[in-house]
Structure 1
Amino acid sequence: MTVVRGQWPAAVERLAQQLSDAQAADRRVTETKSAAARQDSYRAGLEPAEYQPQVRAYVHSRESKAADRAITAAVAVMKARDAALLRSARILLTRRADERRPPRRLPQPYVLPGGYTPQWWINAITTSYAGIWRAIPATGPELRLGGPDDPLVQHVAKQARLLQASRAGYRGRESLYEAYYRDGTREGGEPVEPIRGLSPALNRRANLLLGRGDGIRIPSARMEEARQMHSDYFAVWDRSRAYAAAVLDLLRARA
């Protein structure tokens, strides 16, 4: 945690600095991925007979492993900064709406000194999502800083709703799958017969847990829903920065 000195102007500018740091971390991810792509681009003109051996050799090379680790490290730092930023934006907005003093300290990312990113730290961030799902804000506090027709208020509320959609996508992904019997075609076949006495939701979970049938799939009728959930789920990091930027604009306007 970092001490926030002074009253609201200092707290708001500290949020602005956190937003800038999160945006820089996101750019670092893009740069790292681009560097890895350039490193691999020399194979673009190879004939098929030459290409596959080159791919196999590169995948197991020291350069490939270093590039992959650089990307995962950059992504972990980005996630840590985005999650801390979202918590800070939510806390400041709520306190400002309640006409309370800003906190003495703002949440900070768990980034190790010197940019050091050991594998255990990367794994911890990847597994926990840096706590982003617990940081998702509710809509409402912004309405105490302006009317419902205020564009700044509307923008904050919109970003909060998008974040809630991301959380719904994360939580709802597992509910899309069902066990089924294959019929030899691509994902074709019949759903596993229900277990008597269980609701449809419990049937679905029980069939998956018991390993009934010979495959799992997302039913074709739910593919559009699945695509939307997938899109919402992966958008949470960009949306956390968009929410913080909207909160920052609103707080500056009300400072």
Structure 2
Amino acid sequence: MDETKSAGSSLPNRDDLAPAEYQRQLHAYVQTSEYKASDHELRVAVVLSKAHDAALLRAARKLLARRADGKRPPRRLPRPRILPGGHVPQWWMNTINTTYAGIWRAIPSPGAEFRLGGPDDPLVQEVAKQARLLQASRVGYRKRDSLYEAFIPDGTPFGGCSLPPIRGLGPEASRRANLLLGRGSGMRVQPGRDEEFDQLHTDYFAVWDRSRAYGAAVLALLRARS
């Protein structure tokens, strides 16, 4: 993926150009075949990385659980769900991006690592830490959209009035119904919850880095106990 990103070095430099000229050169560049090929390669690299990260997480969880239960390693480990022959069609990319390669179902719960060492063992602590961070990512995935609300703008950035609850519905049910029905004329994060939203958003997108960190922590623990 790093190699693919470096291929986009022909992009105009914002710092070297006046704003209008930068926008002109940027618009011209994104129409070139060079940019379109580089952009496609980057999208392919990202999707393949997601598939491999999800497989790594499933494999690490399985290996740790079997070792903690005193069982032998499985003959086969989970593999990335990719098409044979290196073929990466758009429909497959869309599937991976929509399902997140099944990574949310692969997130482990903390606990198995404590059957391989005490709570003061730094290797055990690291596995437990990464498992907790992955749980936080899953919370971000599940809750980040729950902080939006429909509102009536007053002309200032994200300023305005929240819609009143719908008669007969509680606050949360009213919030969801207002969004679903398209009431109001704007959508925003609920006032006073921006910091919470930012944290959920950060946790949500950190799941890939955290999956690799969990896999590395599990491998270090298993090596030390072999």
- Aligning the two structures, in what range does the TM-score lie when normalised by the shorter sequence? over 0.9
Asked if 1:226 is matched to 2:197, the reply is yes
Asked if 1:104 is matched to 2:75, the reply is yes
**2:48 aligned partner:** 77
Q: State the one-letter code of the partner of 1:31.
A: E
Shift of 1:175: 0.4
Task: Give % identity.
Answer: 66
Q: Which has the higher helix share?
A: 1
1:54 to 25, 35, 58: 25
Asked if 1:32 is matched to 2:13, the reply is no
2:214 to 218, 222, 243: 243
**1:175 aligned partner:** 146
User: Structure 1 195/131 Cα, relative in aligned 2: closer, same or farther at 3 Å?
Assistant: same
Q: Is the 8 A contact 2:141 2:200 kept in 1?
A: yes
**2:118 aligned partner:** 147
Q: Equivalent residue of 2:167, what SS?
A: coil
User: Structure 1 42/138 Cα, relative in aligned 2: closer, same or farther at 3 Å?
Assistant: closer
Name the count of aligned residue pairs.
226
Asked if 1:192 is matched to 2:163, the reply is yes
Cα distance in structure 2, aligned partners of 1:227 and 1:104: 42
Cα distance in structure 1, aligned partners of 2:112 and 2:51: 25
Shift of 1:49: 4.8
Shift of 1:44: 5.8
Post-superposition Cα deviations, 1:187-214, rounded to whole Å, max 9, x if no partner, equal 1011001012212211110110011111
1:126 to 97, 100, 103: 97
Cα distance in structure 2, aligned partners of 1:51 and 1:158: 44
Shift of 1:60: 1.9
Cα distance in structure 2, aligned partners of 1:46 and 1:57: 14
Shift of 1:247: 0.5
Cα distance in structure 2, aligned partners of 1:189 and 1:147: 53
Shift of 1:108: 0.4
**1:87 aligned partner:** 58
Asked if 1:253 is matched to 2:224, the reply is yes
Q: Equivalent residue of 1:202, what SS?
A: helix
Q: Which runs of 5+ in 2 are unaligned?
A: none
Cα distance in structure 2, aligned partners of 1:51 and 1:242: 38
Post-superposition Cα deviations, 1:40-95, rounded to whole Å, max 9, x if no partner, equal 14676444454333222222221121111111101001100000000000001001
The answer to which structure, 1 or 2, has the higher relative contact order (CA under 8 A, 6+ apart) is 1
